[in-house]
Each structure stands twice: as C-alpha cells, then as structure tokens.
C-alpha cells in the first residue's frame, strides 16, 4: 500500500515537472516568434522563380546546396526547360550539365525527370496543391512540399531545412533531430497563421546570425532568453 502511494506521488511530481517545462517552452516560443517577426518582417523564400513548376524545380535543386547557387543556375535551366513535358522528355546528360553546380546532379536530374513524368501523367503537367499528393511525387519530401505549398498558396506548414533544424534545437524548441518530429514539435508551439513566415524567418536568422559553425550569440537579439543548447559545449570542446 505504502509503495503504491510513493509511485503515485512520483508520477505526480513528474507530471508537474513536465507541465512546467512545457509552459516554459511555450513562453520561449512566443518570445522567439515575436523577436524574429520584428527582425525579419518581410522574410520570404529566396529562390527565384516565375511559375509553380520553376519553384518546385528550384526547391528540389536546393537540397544540400545554397539558394544563392541555385539562383545562379536556374536562369539558363528555366530558359531551356519550360514545362513539365520538357523535363520528362529531357536527355539526362544534358539536364545534368545545367544543374551540375548544385551538387548531387545525377540524382537530382533523375528525380526531376521522374517527378515531371508523374506530373504529366497524373496532373496534366500542373502541380497538385496538397501535401499528400506532392510528397508522392518522386524526389519530393515534406520540406520541398511545404516550401511550394506555403510560398505559392499560403498553405500552413513549417519548412524544416538544415537551418530550422539547427536553430530549433539551439533555441530549446525541440530535442529531436528527425525533421518530421521537429516539424511536429514546432507545429505544437507556433501559431498556425505564423507557420510559413516562421520558417522563412528562422532560415534568415540561420544565414545571418545563428551560423552553423560560429553562432553570433553576442550580437543576437535572442541572446537574453535563448538557452543556446549545444552552443556552449561546442566552444568548451574547441578550447580544450
């Protein structure tokens, strides 16, 4: 009987602790959202495109590559390949030449061709407008689908790219490393109408201040309340 009581009270203590840390995370998320909104009120997708297909292609090329580099190759690529049919019927070697500077160009060329073949066969060359349909296209993951849906049609979704992944962990908004779990954590914490802009703002902040190797914590507007998870440890390791 006594054992049962102590089990119940330790569960109660654990539940209280969990709800406190959840409340702290929510408070932290509110501050992050408000500060990033002030810093980057007009943050938007930095890939250049004129049509939905061009944004899809540019986003697929941006995997493991900077948007800046993608923007350097797309003018010539988009001039040569204008429709989903063009990509579907492309000569793979020719397509590879256009996209080579973006890295992993063989796999990317294959994916672009397979994706566009599916677009032609299933959707008459147009882009579907749901996460479910987009993520069924070859080479299109949740990140790409969320970029396309949020940027083109304002469909709420949080893009979890390398910047968002790194920053969300440093800011203590998630403990996870898996992009899907990070996305779910952020969706719990960030108001739905902020999801698209929040993703863009995190990416801006990751590029300008919270850099992968040397985060500029001393000049960061989030410095006062950011827990900087993993950042202090890194510095300590480097000093040793």
Q: Which residues bind ligand SF4 (CB under 6 A)?
A: 170-171, 209-210, 215-217, 220, 222-223, 226, 228, 231
Query: 143 catalytic, yes or no?
Result: yes
**Given the complex with ligand SF4, which of 131 and 231 has the nearer CB atom?**
231
d(CA 201, CA 210): 12
Catalytic: which of 4, 5, 122, 143?
A: 143
CB of 157 within 8 A of CB of 132? no
d(CA 77, CA 112): 12
Query: 91 catalytic, yes or no?
Result: no
- Give CA separation, 28 vs 21, 32, 56, 116, in Å: 10, 6, 33, 42
**Given the complex with ligand SF4, which of 88 and 171 has the nearer CB atom?**
171
**Given the complex with ligand SF4, which of 187 and 229 has the nearer CB atom?**
229
**Given the complex with ligand SF4, which of 224 and 239 has the nearer CB atom?**
224
d(CA 87, CA 114): 9
CB of 192 within 8 A of CB of 148? no
| Nearest residue to 108 (alpha-carbon basis) of 75, 143, 70 | 70
Encoded tokens for 211: 């850099």
- DSSP 8-state code for residue 160: -
d(CA 215, CA 228): 9
Q: How far is the CB of 59 from ligand SF4 (least distance, A)?
A: 25
**Given the complex with ligand SF4, which of 106 and 223 has the nearer CB atom?**
223
Report the Cα 123 to chain-centroid distance in Å.
26
CB atoms within 10 A of CB 48: 15
Catalytic: which of 67, 108, 161, 185?
A: 161
d(CA 72, CA 52): 18
Which sequence positions are flagged as catalytic?
Answer: 143, 161
């Amino acid at each position: 009987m006594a054992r049962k009581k102590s089990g119940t009270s330790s569960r109660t203590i654990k539940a209280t602790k969990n709800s406190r840390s959840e409340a702290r995370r929510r408070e932290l998320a509110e501050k992050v959202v408000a500060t990033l909104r002030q810093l980057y009120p007009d943050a938007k997708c930095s890939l250049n495109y004129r049509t939905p297909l061009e944004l899809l292609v540019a986003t697929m090329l941006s995997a493991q590559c900077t948007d800046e580099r993608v923007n350097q190759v797309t003018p010539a690529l988009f001039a040569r390949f204008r429709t989903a049919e063009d990509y579907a019927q492309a000569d793979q070697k020719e397509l590879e030449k256009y996209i080579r500077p973006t890295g992993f160009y063989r796999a990317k060329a294959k994916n672009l061709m397979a994706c566009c073949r599916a677009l032609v066969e299933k959707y008459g060359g147009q882009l579907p407008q749901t996460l479910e349909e987009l993520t069924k296209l070859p080479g299109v993951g949740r990140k790409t689908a969320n970029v396309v849906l949020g940027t083109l049609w304002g469909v709420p979704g949080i893009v979890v790219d390398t910047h968002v992944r790194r920053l969300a962990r440093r800011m203590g908004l998630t403990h996870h490393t898996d992009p899907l779990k990070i996305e779910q954590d952020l969706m719990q914490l960030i108001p739905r109408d902020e999801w698209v802009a929040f993703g863009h703002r995190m990416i801006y902040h990751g590029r300008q201040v919270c850099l992968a190797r040397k985060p500029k914590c001393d000049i960061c507007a989030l410095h006062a309340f950011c827990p900087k998870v993993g950042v202090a440890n890194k510095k300590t390791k480097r000093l040793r």
